[in-house]
């Protein structure tokens, strides 16, 4: 609201009061030219404003006041809002815990394991990590991760039973049980070209199985039906130096892969040996941000991988790419003389996770955070 005083005529340059114009009158150039910024003029201006407020419509003033109150309330609400405390990882795993088995074998209870350790308040922790990342770098490109963390419980609980990642779900990623070789063409071709190198290093390692004890560096996973063994070079984002020294060429190969996940807890690289007669029970992986790649090293008949209800077979020297956040199982129904099924397993980034998102996820899910 603006009020237009008359052109001053008095010698003391004080503008006389004039009846206030109705609310909404525009400021005139004449008033700007004639105003004298003396103390008395300021006093007259304030008095004019007060009188004008009194003359304004009370309904309009009430409406403006209501809008101001609503705006202040909105700012306060947004400023104090925290991520919703939906079900945590602990709650999501209760059904598996009731059976005493997860992913086909008993909980490992390792404090370093992102899947077997129950983290209360995980969503709040992830949100804090995201805020810390954004302060150091930028919020640019973080919309999907922010959305995923805030609504994590809803996403996990509302997912169809065919795909239920146990730890973290990134929304709006294309979902399919299997991926074509072109999804990560460079890395697939590089692995396949080095098939013989990886196979030779595995065979050297496997010679230690001639005795009865579990060889150093290997981990045994028991199931209700048989067992399988793993030899990790990278375990949940952490390099295993002793094992890497025993497979130096394979370890160097990992550094040449463009999309290998090596800096967060969802990244693994290992040799997996499935004994004849073993069935790995149906289970879900921890996240949908990765593609699990299996390079077949030894693939006898009667071995099969089933992801999302779709069966596939391994082939020696060929890569098989799948999303392990889908319900999946693996089994070896061959005879003992057929020998084990052996694959080199490495986790690659999902092709639709952008570079900025990969950097942020490496920070948020860094080992030990």
Q: What is the CATH number of the domain that holds 220?
A: 2.60.120.330
* pLDDT at 268 > cutoff 80: yes
Q: Rounded mean pLDDT of 302-312?
A: 96
Q: Alpha helices of the chain — where are they, by DSSP H?
A: 29-34, 39-55, 58-80, 89-92, 94-98, 122-136, 143-150, 152-158, 185-193, 195-206, 241-246, 248-256, 355-364
Confirm whether 197 is domain-assigned.
yes
Q: Which pLDDT belongs to residue 350?
A: 98
Q: Which pLDDT belongs to residue 109?
A: 46
Domain around 261: 162-353
Q: CB 249: neighbour CB atoms within 10 A?
A: 11
Q: Which pLDDT belongs to residue 88?
A: 33
Question: Which range, of 25-34, 217-226, 284-293, averages the lowest pLDDT?
Answer: 25-34
Confirm whether 261 is domain-assigned.
yes
User: How far is residue 92's CA from residue 74's CA, in Å, rounded to a whole number?
Assistant: 33
Render 306-351 in DSSP notation, one character per residue: EETTEEE---TT-EEEE-TTB-EEEEE-S-GGG--EEEEEEEEE-T
| Beta pairing partners, 295 | 319, 344
Overall domain count for the chain: 1
* pLDDT at 306 > cutoff 70: yes
Q: Rounded mean pLDDT of 98-117?
A: 45
Confidence of residue 56 (pLDDT cuts 50, 70, 90): low
Confirm whether 308 is domain-assigned.
yes
- Indicate the SS3 state at residue 236: coil
Q: Rounded mean pLDDT of 88-113?
A: 40
Confirm whether 82 is domain-assigned.
no
Give the model confidence (pLDDT) of 314-332 as tens digits.
Answer: 999 999 999 999 999 999 9
Q: Rounded mean pLDDT of 203-216?
A: 82
Q: Which pLDDT belongs to residue 50?
A: 64
User: How far is residue 75's CA from residue 248's CA, in Å, rounded to a whole number?
Assistant: 57
CB neighbours of 51 closer than 8 A, spacing ≥ 6?
A: 20
Q: Rounded mean pLDDT of 223-252?
A: 94
Q: Rounded mean pLDDT of 35-43?
A: 58
Give the model confidence (pLDDT) of 158-203 as tens digits.
Answer: 777 899 998 999 999 999 999 999 999 999 999 999 999 999 999 9
From the CA atom positions of the chain, what is the Rg in Å?
33
Confirm whether 24 is domain-assigned.
no
Confirm whether 5 is domain-assigned.
no
Using a 10 angstrom Cβ sphere, with 0-12 exposed, 13-18 middle and 19 or more buried, the burial of residue 34 is middle
The token pair at 210 is 């001639």
User: How far is residue 360's CA from residue 260's CA, in Å, rounded to a whole number?
Assistant: 15
Confidence of residue 226 (pLDDT cuts 50, 70, 90): confident
Question: Which range, of 14-18, 28-32, 62-66, 225-229, averages the lowest pLDDT?
Answer: 14-18
Calculate the average pLDDT of the chain: 80
More confident residue, 102 or 211: 211
Confirm whether 332 is domain-assigned.
yes
Give the model confidence (pLDDT) of 227-239 as tens digits.
Answer: 899 999 999 999 9
User: How far is residue 2's CA from residue 24's CA, in Å, rounded to a whole number?
Assistant: 7
Confirm whether 83 is domain-assigned.
no
Handedness of CA 355, 359, 364, 365 (dihedral sign): positive
* pLDDT at 204 > cutoff 80: yes
User: How far is residue 162's CA from residue 59's CA, in Å, rounded to a whole number?
Assistant: 58
């Amino acid at each position: 609201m603006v009020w237009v005083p008359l052109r001053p005529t008095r010698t003391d340059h004080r503008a006389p009061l004039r009846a206030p114009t109705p609310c909404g009158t525009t400021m005139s150039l004449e008033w700007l030219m004639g105003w004298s910024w003396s103390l008395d003029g300021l006093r007259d201006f304030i008095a004019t404003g007060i009188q004008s407020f009194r003359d304004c419509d009370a309904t309009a003033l009430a409406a403006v006041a209501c809008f101001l109150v609503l705006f202040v309330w909105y700012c306060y609400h947004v400023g104090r809002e925290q991520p919703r405390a939906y079900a945590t990882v602990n709650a999501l795993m209760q059904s598996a815990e009731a059976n005493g088995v997860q992913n086909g074998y008993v909980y490992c209870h390792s404090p370093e394991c992102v899947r077997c350790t129950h983290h209360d308040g995980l969503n709040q922790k992830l949100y804090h990590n995201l805020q810390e990342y954004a302060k150091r770098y930028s919020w640019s490109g973080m919309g999907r991760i922010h959305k995923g963390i805030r609504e994590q419980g809803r996403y996990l609980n509302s997912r169809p039973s065919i795909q239920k990642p146990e730890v973290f779900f990134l929304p709006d990623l294309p979902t399919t049980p299997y991926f074509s070789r072109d999804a990560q063409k460079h890395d697939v071709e590089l692995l396949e070209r080095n098939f013989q190198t990886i196979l030779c290093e595995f065979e050297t390692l496997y010679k230690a199985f001639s005795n009865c004890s579990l060889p150093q560096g290997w981990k045994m996973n028991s199931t209700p039906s048989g067992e399988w063994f793993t030899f990790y070079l990278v375990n949940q984002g952490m390099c295993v130096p002793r094992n890497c020294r025993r497979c130096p060429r394979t370890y160097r190969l990992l550094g040449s892969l463009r999309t290998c996940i090596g800096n967060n807890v969802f990244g693994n690289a290992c040799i997996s040996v499935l004994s004849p007669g073993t069935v790995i029970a149906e289970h879900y992986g921890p996240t949908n941000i990765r593609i699990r790649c299996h390079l077949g090293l030894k693939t006898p008949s009667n071995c099969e991988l089933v992801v999302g209800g779709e069966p596939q077979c391994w082939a020696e020297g060929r890569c098989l790419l799948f999303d392990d956040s889908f319900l999946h199982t693996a089994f070896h129904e061959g005879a003992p003389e057929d020998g084990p099924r052996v694959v080199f397993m490495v986790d690659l980034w999902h092709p639709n996770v952008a570079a900025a998102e990969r950097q942020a996820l490496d920070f948020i899910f860094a080992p030990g955070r």
